[in-house]
Every structure is written in structure tokens, then in C-alpha cells.
Chain A
């Protein structure tokens, strides 16, 4: 160690960094800055990992992210960490600012430290804005359409800004490349540099003392305060880790610029801005899009010059608490208003594309077969693509059959198992011929490749498909290329009609579409929900 220190001075540097004098009043309230730095590093780390498996072009971005989520081991966790880490970073940066604000730690001579911090907050938000586009799903695409439109409407600078963001008229390859470039090439070094400056300034002026500290001897940062920082960082990391594991980050459908039904919405921390924008219409729009946010940023930057009074005990800074309370109220109010006033997209069926969605490509018959497979509890004796060596039930693994049987063989086998396989302990399945046919159709589709994905088909789709089969819809309609072409094909139905229309059409087709020869169907409301959700989840 001494050898290294003589040559590099690293030990001395670490020592002098850790054994910094801090005021006697320092404690738990000052941990947020450290958490923010830590979270930034987690973002950089997980971001680099994601970049290793990510293709930053609109053509490939979605597929590569889908690959990360469904095929790369641990990919879902890494993406979860990056996604929730971004949200957490915003929260922690704001908490850090709030603490500094409440304690008046921005006062002379620490104005520059504060201002660097404000710029860091803006940078954090810029990450959020640019990163939002990168999954290139519908959410990303439409969210970015809105944000680039806002930028384009800024008086004077708008057109230039719009051109800079690559959005002539539409969000496309150029915008994508610019956002990606900003997100991974420009912002990280800028943030790193500014964090270094920020910390340098903190060191230069020392941690802000509270009144009364002048009469007490200072403490050392290490180990007591370092311990507190570590515990706080650990707690934050635990929350992040648990969220990354437990809370699924959605991946919606691939971005579709022609989807007219999509209701775009920014990420939660931008909702208040989004709502502010709604309060101003027409020529006043610029107030909501530029003037108010601009004033807010300016005020934030100038806080140290607006409040130049002497440092006071935090408990006596009533006005500061008032400002924070107002800000929290305002932010919460706007966010709640934004959430409640945004209509839930009518036609959206929440299909989690971050899991394999092979089931979407099945014909209704094959998909309905999953339902009978579940209803008849086939899984209590048969596994589907179990790992070799794990104990399987009495029946063979259905995804790894040594010989493929025909549907006719299977149906005969379902009816009288012992007649086809002497000595088998499989009971006969009591279903109608049509249902057995459906079950066989599903089993024929099973391969080790799609087994997990098929087994994971959501209930609404399976019950919807079963209803579709039992109502014999395929006699007139086509789904995924299977069925007749008497009526219109049902893929893409969600784009053509909304839920109410479809429900009405089921109960009285001729009333909605004059001349329709479709017979009326009277489904229970539960059945109707499943049926429509299934139809709306069909790939376009």
C-alpha cells in the first residue's frame, strides 16, 4: 500500500477525502446527495449493460429489448434496475434539493453549489425524456411525439429546437438517433463533470453548518457519517432491487405511428408539466409550455439570491417549509389531475409484451385448446417442456414427445386411452368431438420452443378463444389467417372500432351495420369482456 501511495498518492487522496471535517450537526438528513451519486452510477452501469444487447435504431430497438427481456438471462432484472432507477433518481435528487432548501444550505458562499445542483436536476430530467423513447414501443413513440411537439411550439426557438431534435414533422430515425446520442454520449459526461464540480464545491466550502456548530468541534466524515450514508444507500438500493424484481416494467406493442387510438402520456414525473400545459389554450399555450416552466427553473436557480438572510435553525424556517408545502401540493394536484383526466385508452388490452407472446400467433382453435388443457387438468400428469432430469408426472412431457402423433390418433387416444396405449393409466377425457379436436390442435402446436410462451397465454385470451370456437365464429371470420372470409377478418379490429361498438354489434349486428347477416350473440358481460379483449389483442 505504501509502495502504491508513494507512486500514486492514492491512499493519501482517499484518506483526505474520507477524513474531511464536517459540522457537528451533520447526520441522517444529509445522506441524499450520496444516494443520488450512487444511483447515477447504478444507471451508468445498468445502462452500459443494456447497451451491450441493444440495437439503437427504430428498426431493431424494440426487438432487441424484447430479446433482453425474454431471452437474455437476467435481462429483465437489469432493465428493471435501469427503469426504476431512473424514477428513483428523480425522487432522490428532489429530496436532496428539498433538504438543502429547508436547511438554507444554499446561502453564501454556496450559491454556485446550489446552481450546479439545479442544472443536475435538469440533466436528470433530460435523461428521463430521452430514455423514454428508446424502447420504441407505442408508449415511447407517442410520448415523444408529444414532447417534441411541445418543443416545436416554443416561440422563436421552436423550429430550431425541433430541427435539432430531428423531428421535422414526425418522430423517426433521426429523432431516435439524436435522443440515443444525447442519452448515452452527451448527457453522461456532462453529468459526470457537473457532479464532480458539485462535489468539489461542497468540499471547497465544506458541508453547510447549522447555527450552533461554530461552538462545537467538527466531526470526521469517516466512519460515522460514511456509515450513515452507506446505510441510506443500502436502503435505497434494496427498494430499487425489490422493485426491479417484483414490479414488471411494461413493454407495449411496437411503436405504431398509424395508431389513432393511443392516448400518449409522459412518465409520472412529467405529468405535472403535461397538466400545466392543458390549463392554457390558444395563444396562451406558450405560458404553460415555456413561460411557467422557464420561470420555475429561473426561480430555482436564483433561490440563493432571493433569500439572502442569515442562516437560521431549520425549525425556524417557516417560510421555507411553506414554499415546500406549496410545491408539494401543487405538484400532487397537477399530477392527480393529469392521471384522472387522461382517459383510459378504450381499446387497449394490456398484453405484456415483455413476456413471450407466441400465443398471439395461434389460431383460435389452437388457443382454445389451451383452455381445455387447463380445464381437464392435463398438467397434473403431464409436464410441458420440463427441464431434463426434473421429476415429471406419470404421463410423458408433451413438448418433447419422441414421436409426433396425428390429431386422429390423439382424439382416439383421448376417448379410449387404453385402446391406443395398452396399460396406460390415463383416464378418458369427457369432451365433445369438437372440443377434443381443439385440444389436439393445441397439442400439435407444442414444441420445446414455444411451450413456456403458450403455457403463459393469459386467461382472457384463452377463454375468449374458447368462446370464439364454441360460437363457431370461424365459419365466417378469419383470425390469424384461419377461418372463412364471409365476414371481415378480425385481426386489427381494435383499430377499426371501439369496445362499445363491438359489444353493440354482437348483441344486434344489423342495427349497427345495416345489412349485416351476422346473427346476434347474447354473451354474459364476463364473456363479452373476454371475447372483446381477445379480439383486440390479436396482432394487426
Chain B
């Protein structure tokens, strides 16, 4: 249409602009509609199945003050779509003030299993020689924070363990 040549060019440009922005806009929207649910699906933790239950760890009547004992017990662990009943352990100590604490069985450095060194009276992690005092604090080694503690309560002389709380990192 040579008569409206100029007009149609101007029209052509705006129409082209419209096409291009619509293409970008719609593809952007679709990418978001797929991407956001995907991110939610992968990143949000699954709905909590079950409030953490109290697990019976063992009898504490024979516990001597300041003598840590490794208590082994069974607990139900929810892992995705499965519930495992598995062996778990905790280091249980009756402190001087007869308060009872239970430490998670893994070193706070890289998760190795530590043990109580009877002769030296401290917890020793064999991996990188982290050493913890009987109250869980770091004496030496690379461990960044004290031993993690279970929530505890005593029912009829039995120690019950709740969730394991991460200890605060010492600055």
C-alpha cells in the first residue's frame, strides 16, 4: 500500500513491538508459572509428619554423677515416605548439680562419632581430635560449637529424649 506507506511503517513498528513484547511477556509468565512451583517443590521442606515424639532412652537410676554413659535405644525416624525404626544413641551425663543432659552422638565438627575418654575425663573425637568437656563445651580442636543437646525429661526414672537442639556457635 504505497499511499499510506509512512503510516503502515509506523504501524508496522508498533505492531512488531507488540508482538515482541507479547512473546517475551508470555514466555516470562510461563517460565514463572513452572519455575516458582518447581522451586517450592524442591526447596520447601515437606509438611511435618508427626510432631517429634519423646523417645525412651533408658534407665537413669544407676547413673553416677559425672560419669557419661552411652545409651542406645530405638527410635522412629521419618525419612521421606518411609519410617525407619532404628538404633540411635546419646551420651547421657549426670552433671554435678544432678541435672541430666543428653548429648547428640556426633561431633559438631564433621559429624564423627566421639567417645568418652575415661582416663582423661573428656569427650574425644578421633577424626580431628576435637575435645569436649563433660558439660559439652569445646576444650580444643576444630569443633566450632559445644555438643548438641537433646531436650530431656524424666518419667518414672526413665530418661525421655525429645528433639535434638543445635548448640549455639561460640564466636
Residues of A within 8 A of B (CB): 42, 45, 49, 52-53, 55, 60, 63-64, 66-67, 70-75, 77-78, 223-224, 226-227, 230-231, 233-234, 237, 241, 447-449
Contacts and interface: CB of A to CB of B under 8 A. Distances in A.
B19 A227 contact: yes
Contacts of A77: 37, 41
Contacts, number: 73
Interface in B1-52: 16, 19-20, 22-23, 26-27, 29-30, 33-34, 37-38, 40-42, 44-47, 49-51
B82 interface: yes
Contacts of B30: 233-234, 237
A63 B83 CA distance: 11
A73 B47 contact: yes
A55 B40 CA distance: 20
Given A53-B80, A230-B26, A449-B51, A223 B46 contact: no
B80 A67 contact: yes
Interface of A is mostly: helix
Contact of B49 (A75, A223, A449): A449
B23 A230 contact: yes
Nearest to B51: A448
A173 B55 CA distance: 36
Interface residues of B, number: 26
Contacts of B47: 70-73
Interface string B118-143: 00000000000000000000000000
Contacts of B46: 67, 71-73
Contacts of B20: 223
Contacts of B82: 60, 63
Contact of B41 (A67, A72, A227, A234): A72
Interface of B: 16, 19-20, 22-23, 26-27, 29-30, 33-34, 37-38, 40-42, 44-47, 49-51, 80-82
A106 B31 CA distance: 33
A49 B22 contact: no
What 4 A-B pairs are tightest by C-beta distance, nearest first?
Answer: A67-B81, A223-B19, A74-B41, A227-B19
B154 to A, nearest CB: 18
Contacts of A42: 34
Nearest to B33: A241
A223 B16 CA distance: 7
A224 B12 CA distance: 11
Given A226-B19, A449-B51, 8 more contacts: A45-B38, A53-B80, A60-B82, A74-B38, A75-B41, A223-B20, A234-B26, A237-B30
Contact of B23 (A45, A74, A75, A226): A226
Contact of B37 (A53, A64, A74): A74
29 contacts: A49-B42, A53-B80, A63-B81, A67-B80, A67-B81, A71-B46, A71-B47, A71-B81, A73-B40, A73-B41, A74-B37, A74-B38, A77-B37, A78-B38, A223-B16, A224-B19, A226-B23, A227-B19, A227-B23, A230-B22, A230-B23, A230-B26, A230-B27, A231-B22, A234-B29, A237-B30, A237-B33, A241-B33, A448-B51
Contacts of B45: 73
